[in-house]
Amino acid sequence: MDADVKKDEKVHGSYRPSIQRLTHIADLLCIVLLVIGGRAVALGGELDILLSTLGVVAALVGRYLIQRERTELAVPLLLGVMMVLVSVSMVVNQGLFSGALLSYPCLLIAAGMLASRRVFLGLLVSMLGMVALITWISLNGMHTYVAVPHGPGRMLVVSSLLVLGAVAIWLLANDLHHARENLDHEIFQLENSQASLNYLAQHDPLTDLPNRSLIEERVGNAINRARQSGKMVALLFLDLDHFKIINDSLGHIAGDQLLREIASRLKKVVRGGDSVSRQGGDEFLIVLAEVDSVDAMTAVLLRIQTLVAQPLTLQDMELVVSLSIGISVYPQDGDDFGTLLKKADTAMYQAKSAGRNAYRLFSDEMSADTYARLGMEQDLRQALVRNEFELHYQPIVDMRDGRVVAVEALLRWRHPERGMVGPDAFIQVAEQSGLIVEMGIWVLQQACQQMVIWQGEGLPEVLISVNLSAVQMHRGDLEQSVRDALQRTGLKASLLELELTESMLLHDSEASILLLQRLKQLGVKLAIDDFGTGYSNLSYLQRFQVDRLKIDRSFVQSIISNEQNRAIVTAIIQMAHSLELETTAEGIEDEATRQLLAALGCDCGQGYLFSRPVSASKFMAQVR
C-alpha cells in the first residue's frame, strides 16, 4: 500500500482515498473518454465528440483540484459532469437502449465510496429523473429510441465503461481492505495493552497476588456476606521480619525470590473463600471470610507461622524467616476496609514491638502507638521552624544520549541527633498531621529557587521535578503555592514538573480535575509517579492531560530476569507513546537494564546507575 494511503488512514482513523488514488481514477477517466471521443471522430458523431471533449476537460479540472487536495470539490464536480454528459448522450442517442446507461451504477458506487450522502442521493434522484424524462419523451413521440445493432464500436464503448468502472471500484475496494486490516491490527494492539493494564491494575506483578484494590473489593464482599450470616471477617496484616537486612545483604533478586516464596506459602494456608494479597514491600494481607470463632482464626495463624518458618534456600544459604501479624475483626473493630486495615496495621506494629514473630489482635489500648506519632509530629513542626529540611537532587537522563534532561528534588531531614533522615521515615506522619502542606510549599519554593540559581551558574534548561502528596491536593491551596513559587523565583512554568501518584487521580472528583486543569493552564508539566503500582487506567491519563509516566522501579529492577515485568514495561511504553506521553524508567541500577529499556523505546531514565540523590552543590559539580 502506498505511503499516502497509510498517512490518510492514520489522520482520519477510517478510510479516505489518497490523492494518488483519486489521480489514478481521473487519469483513467481521461483515457476512456479519449477512446470514446476517438471513436466518435472516426465515425463523425459531432455530439459525441463535443461530449467527450467536455468530459476530458472536466476530468483534467478534477485532476487539478485533486492535486491541490481540494477533493471535496473535485469528487462532486467529476461525478456531476459525468452524470450530465452520460444523460445528454442517452437522451439524444439511444435512450434506455444506450450502453452509456452502464455508467449510472458505476457513478453511484463511486459516489457511495467517495462523496457525501447528499451528493449520492442527488445523483440517484437525478438518474431516476433522467430515466423518467427519457420514457416521457418516448411516450410522447418526441423521439423514437431504437437500439443500434451490435458491432465493434458499441463493444468498444461498453467495454471501456465496464473497465473504467471495474478498475476504479477494484482500486478503492483494495484500499478499503488495507485500511480495514490496519485498523484491526491497531485495535488488536490496543486491546492487548488494555488487557495487560487491567490485569496489572488488580495484581501485584512480583507475586501475582491480588493487589490492594482487588483485596479492598473482596473485603467489602466478605463483610456483606458476614452481615447476613452473622459470622466474622478477619483482616490479617503480615510483615516479614528483618526483610530489609535480607534485601540489603543478599540483594534485590534474592529479596524478590523470598517474597515470591512467602506468597506461595501463604496461598497454601488459606481456604478457597479466603484471599491473600501483597500490600507492597514486605507486607501482605490475608482476608479470612466467614470466621466462626477466635479459635478458628488462631488455628489459621498458627498454620501460617509454622509454614513460613520452614527453612528456605536463597543464594545457597538456608534461611528461616518469620512474620509479625496484626489482626482486626469485623464487626467489633470496624465495618469497612479502611478502618480494619488501619487497626490491623496498628496491631502488627504491636506484634513487632513485642519482639517480632508474633501476632496481636487489635485492642483499643494499642492506640497508644498514636502517641509516638504525635511526638514525631511535634518534632516535624520544630524541624520546619529550625530549617532542618533540605533537598537532594537526582538527575533524570535522556536514554538515547545520556544528557541530563531533568532533576528530581527529594526531601531530607537533617535531624540534630539522628543525622540525615529519609522521607519514608516522616512523610506519612507529615501527611496525617497535615504538616505536609507547609512542607510541600517549602519544597516547591526551594526546588524552583535552586533551579534558578543553577541556571545562573550556566546549567542548561532542564526540568525540575517535585513530588506532591495527595494531602496537598485536597487541603491547602496547591495552585496558589505553585503560582507563588514560580512568581517569587522567576522560574519558567514549563520547567516545573509535578509528580502525582496514580492513587491521587483515582478519586477524580470534579475539584481535582479542575485543579489539575488550572495547574496545566499555568504551564507546568504533570507526571504520574510509580506508574503501574496503582490503578493503571487509560482513561485518567487522557482526562488529566498528563505529560509523562514514571515506570515504577519494582518493574524496572527485575525487567531482565522477569518476563512478566518486561511485558508490562513494554505495554506501558507502547501505551504511553500511543497517547503521546513521555516515559521515564525509575530505579535503573545497571547498564544491562539501561540498554534493554533504551531498546524498548523508553525516553528517559533515573537511578543509581546515573547518580544517587545528592546535595545541590554535588549535583552541579556532577553536571559540569
Ligand X SMILES: Nc1nc2c(ncn2[C@@H]2O[C@H](COP(=O)(O)O[C@H]3[C@@H](O)[C@H](n4cnc5c(=O)[nH]c(N)nc54)O[C@@H]3COP(=O)(O)O)[C@@H](O)[C@H]2O)c(=O)[nH]1
Choose the binding region for ligand X from 86-94, 263-271, 419-427, 569-577 (rule: CB under 6 A): 419-427
Q: Which of residues 432-471 bind ligand X (CB under 6 A)?
A: 443, 467-469
Q: Which of residues 113-172 bind ligand X (CB under 6 A)?
A: none
* Distance of closest approach, residue 437 Cβ to ligand X, in angstroms: 10
Q: How many binding residues for ligand X (CB under 6 A)?
A: 24
* Distance of closest approach, residue 607 Cβ to ligand X, in angstroms: 3
Which residues are CB-contacts of 261 (< 8 A; sequence separation ≥ 6)? 312
Which of 256, 261, 274, 408 is in the footprint of ligand X by CB under 6 A?
408
Give the nearer residue to ligand X in terms of CB position, either 344 or 447: 447
The answer to whether 316 contacts ligand X (rule: CB under 6 A) is no
* Distance of closest approach, residue 611 Cβ to ligand X, in angstroms: 9
Give the nearer residue to ligand X in terms of CB position, either 443 or 541: 443
| Whole-angstrom distance, CA of residue 488 vs CA of residue 506 | 32
Choose the binding region for ligand X from 2-10, 106-114, 449-457, 587-595 (rule: CB under 6 A): 587-595
Which of 108, 423, 452, 535 is in the footprint of ligand X by CB under 6 A?
423
The answer to whether 37 contacts ligand X (rule: CB under 6 A) is no
Distances from the Cα of 619 to the Cα of 174, 478, 487, 574, angstroms: 59, 28, 24, 32
Choose the binding region for ligand X from 211-219, 226-234, 356-364, 602-610 (rule: CB under 6 A): 602-610
Give the nearer residue to ligand X in terms of CB position, either 285 or 498: 498
Residue with cell 461498453: 158
The answer to whether 256 contacts ligand X (rule: CB under 6 A) is no
What x/- string results for residues 480 through 519 when contact with ligand X is judged by CB under 6 A? Answer: ----------------------------------------
Paired strand residues for 324: 239
User: If DSSP codes are grouped into helix, strand and coil, which group holds residue 272?
Assistant: coil
Q: Which helix (H) or strand (E) holds 289?
A: strand 283-291
**Contact between 105 and 144 (Cβ < 8 Å):** no
The answer to whether 582 contacts ligand X (rule: CB under 6 A) is no
**Contact between 388 and 415 (Cβ < 8 Å):** yes
Give the nearer residue to ligand X in terms of CB position, either 120 or 531: 531
Which of 529, 565, 572, 573 is in the footprint of ligand X by CB under 6 A?
529
Give the nearer residue to ligand X in terms of CB position, either 193 or 469: 469
Paired strand residues for 415: 419
**Contact between 478 and 519 (Cβ < 8 Å):** yes
Choose the binding region for ligand X from 111-119, 487-495, 503-511, 607-615 (rule: CB under 6 A): 607-615
* Distance of closest approach, residue 613 Cβ to ligand X, in angstroms: 5
The answer to whether 591 contacts ligand X (rule: CB under 6 A) is no
Length of the chain: 624
**Contact between 192 and 245 (Cβ < 8 Å):** no
| Whole-angstrom distance, CA of residue 234 vs CA of residue 291 | 7
Nearest to 242 by CA among 258, 257, 264: 258
Nearest-5° angle of CA 87, CA 93, CA 98?
70
Residue with cell 509523562: 548
Choose the binding region for ligand X from 19-27, 30-38, 233-241, 406-414 (rule: CB under 6 A): 406-414
Number of C-beta neighbours around residue 459 at 10 A? 18
Q: Which helix (H) or strand (E) holds 497?
A: strand 496-501
| Whole-angstrom distance, CA of residue 504 vs CA of residue 591 | 33
Which of 17, 99, 255, 607 is in the footprint of ligand X by CB under 6 A?
607
> Nearest to ligand X by Cβ — which residue?
607
Which of 30, 79, 410, 491 is in the footprint of ligand X by CB under 6 A?
410
Choose the binding region for ligand X from 10-18, 365-373, 484-492, 583-591 (rule: CB under 6 A): 583-591
| Whole-angstrom distance, CA of residue 197 vs CA of residue 203 | 10
Give the β-pairing of 359-361 and 389-398: unpaired
DSSP secondary structure letter of residue 607 = S
* Distance of closest approach, residue 359 Cβ to ligand X, in angstroms: 29
DSSP secondary structure letter of residue 236 = E
Choose the binding region for ligand X from 49-57, 87-95, 423-431, 575-583 (rule: CB under 6 A): 423-431
**Contact between 550 and 530 (Cβ < 8 Å):** yes
The answer to whether 411 contacts ligand X (rule: CB under 6 A) is yes
Give the nearer residue to ligand X in terms of CB position, either 300 or 436: 436
Q: Which of residues 375-404 bind ligand X (CB under 6 A)?
A: 394
Give the nearer residue to ligand X in terms of CB position, either 269 or 409: 409
**Cell digits of residue 482:** 505553585
Distances from the Cα of 103 to the Cα of 57, 87, 97, 160, 619, angstroms: 18, 10, 13, 10, 76
Which of 422, 434, 490, 601 is in the footprint of ligand X by CB under 6 A?
422
Number of C-beta neighbours around residue 155 at 10 A? 11
HSE (side-chain half, CA atoms, 13 Å) at 590: 8
Give the nearer residue to ligand X in terms of CB position, either 120 or 426: 426
Q: Which of residues 530-549 bind ligand X (CB under 6 A)?
A: 530
* Distance of closest approach, residue 512 Cβ to ligand X, in angstroms: 16
Give the nearer residue to ligand X in terms of CB position, either 99 or 532: 532
Residue with cell 529519609: 422
* Distance of closest approach, residue 497 Cβ to ligand X, in angstroms: 11
Strands annotated E in 384-461 = 389-398, 404-415, 419-421
* Distance of closest approach, residue 522 Cβ to ligand X, in angstroms: 19
The answer to whether 407 contacts ligand X (rule: CB under 6 A) is no
Q: Which of residues 180-219 bind ligand X (CB under 6 A)?
A: none
**Cell digits of residue 591:** 547498564
HSE (side-chain half, CA atoms, 13 Å) at 589: 12
* Distance of closest approach, residue 188 Cβ to ligand X, in angstroms: 33
* Distance of closest approach, residue 432 Cβ to ligand X, in angstroms: 13
* Distance of closest approach, residue 27 Cβ to ligand X, in angstroms: 59
| Whole-angstrom distance, CA of residue 530 vs CA of residue 554 | 9
Give the nearer residue to ligand X in terms of CB position, either 327 or 443: 443
The answer to whether 282 contacts ligand X (rule: CB under 6 A) is no
152: preceding bond cis by omega (within 30 degrees): no
| Whole-angstrom distance, CA of residue 572 vs CA of residue 556 | 11
User: If DSSP codes are grouped into helix, strand and coil, which group holds residue 326?
Assistant: strand
Q: Which residues of this chain interact with ligand X, rule CB under 6 A?
A: 394, 408, 410-411, 422-424, 427, 443, 467-469, 529-530, 550, 553, 586-589, 606-608, 613
